[in-house]
DNA sequence: TAGATCTTGATTAACTCAGTCGGAAATTCC
DNA sequence: GGAATTTCCGACTGAGTTAATCAAGATCTA
């Protein structure tokens, strides 16, 4: 049930980019310095977020990174999924990356007790993270 | 956000032990066969559950494992915590194993946005798993 | 063109996960 | 008492993941 360092850094980096949104872009080293993140590691995180369509970037002297959408349109669920994979605790209850559970005697019947509980857990986690936007996050408030 | 195989096996093993509770005890190989779990791996799981005070055991010819408390008094939260550690996605929001977050610019102030969201996630997970008993689990129903 | 910056891919050390193995200790049955 | 059976305990292993680090290349601005 753990959040990777990668996702944590991503959230903290996006926090800075949310503050800067509309005003300016930020460079790797600025984000790294403000959030105490190893710059080379941060780099590959920003690249992943870019490939996921959340960030734009510009190379060269006046380069840097910026949000490509407005903070209200990016959820923490999206961010964590792109870096850590599915939110579900177990493959057979994932909605974005379902995987049939091998070796379980209940196979995939809806009677499977594991599926039942973990489905509830998944829904609880996704219920929070998929409604929590970067705007909420930066404001430090609850969503909606 | 993933449940380890260890915890999954533990839940499935406890399912069998719940069915047997009051009637008989079960041996490693019986549980392993019914739930398709590698027997030597299951062993160390059962041992861990025993050390956590959930199971009793007897060695020798008529030996085996049994629940030491009634299924209504064991929650899935307890089980998963003993095998996977804290439920919280990040140390600084754990109630059972709190750890101050190093290198975060917000330190531990209540204003920390990461702490805010992840606290909500932790509460959601624990809210389910700490109220879900083995009895609920075996019945395949929702708790309470 | 020079210098700054993003981009890509490879590499690494440490750690965790999932499972295996061998042997010691306890209990029962003969 | 001895053999069979079962739990107990610790060490070990191979594969994969995590958290970085590094070097070299592409691109942009001044």
SS3 content of chain A, % helix, strand, coil (to 5): 50, 10, 40
Q: Is the CB of A95 under 7 A from strand D?
A: no
- H runs (alpha helix) in chain B: 5-20, 28-35, 39-51, 76-84, 113-129, 134-139
Residues of B in contact with A12 (CB under 8 A): 104-105, 114
Distance CA A89, CA A106 (A): 18
For the residues A27-45, what does the mean pLDDT come to?
Answer: 97
Q: Is the confidence at residue A144, as pLDDT, over 50?
A: no
Question: Chain A contact for B15, CB < 8 A?
Answer: yes
For the residues A116-126, what does the mean pLDDT come to?
Answer: 97
* Residue A57 DSSP label: E
Distance CA B69, CA A101 (A): 30
Q: Is the confidence at residue B116, as pLDDT, over 80?
A: yes
Give the torsion sign (CA, A103, A109, A115, A116). negative
**What is the greatest pairwise CA distance in chain B?**
60
Q: Is the confidence at residue B141, as pLDDT, over 90?
A: no
Report which residue is nearest nucleotide C29 when distances run from CA to C1': B61
Mean pLDDT of chain A: 94
Distance CA A91, CA B4 (A): 11
> Mind listing the pLDDT tens digit for each residue in B22-70?
999 999 999 999 999 999 999 999 999 999 999 999 999 999 999 999 9
Q: Name the band, by pLDDT with cuts 50, 70 and 90, for residue B109.
A: confident
User: Mutation test of the interface with chain B: which of A39, A113, A137, choosing the one with the most B Cβ atoms within 10 A?
Assistant: A113
């Amino acid at each position: 049930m753990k959040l990777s360092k990668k996702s944590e850094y991503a959230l903290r980096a996006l926090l800075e980019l949310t503050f800067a949104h509309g005003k300016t872009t930020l460079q790797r080293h600025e984000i790294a310095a403000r959030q105490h993140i190893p710059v080379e590691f941060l780099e590959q995180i920003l690249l992943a977020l870019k490939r996921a369509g959340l960030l734009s970037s510009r190379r060269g002297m006046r380069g840097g990174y910026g949000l490509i959408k407005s903070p209200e349109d990016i959820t923490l669920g999206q961010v964590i999924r792109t870096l850590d994979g599915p939110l579900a605790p177990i493959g057979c209850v994932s909605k974005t990356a379902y995987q049939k559970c091998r070796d379980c005697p209940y196979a995939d019947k809806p009677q499977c007790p594991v599926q039942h509980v973990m489905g509830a857990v998944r829904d609880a986690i996704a219920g929070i993270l998929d409604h929590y936007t970067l705007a909420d996050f930066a404001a430090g408030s609850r969503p909606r």
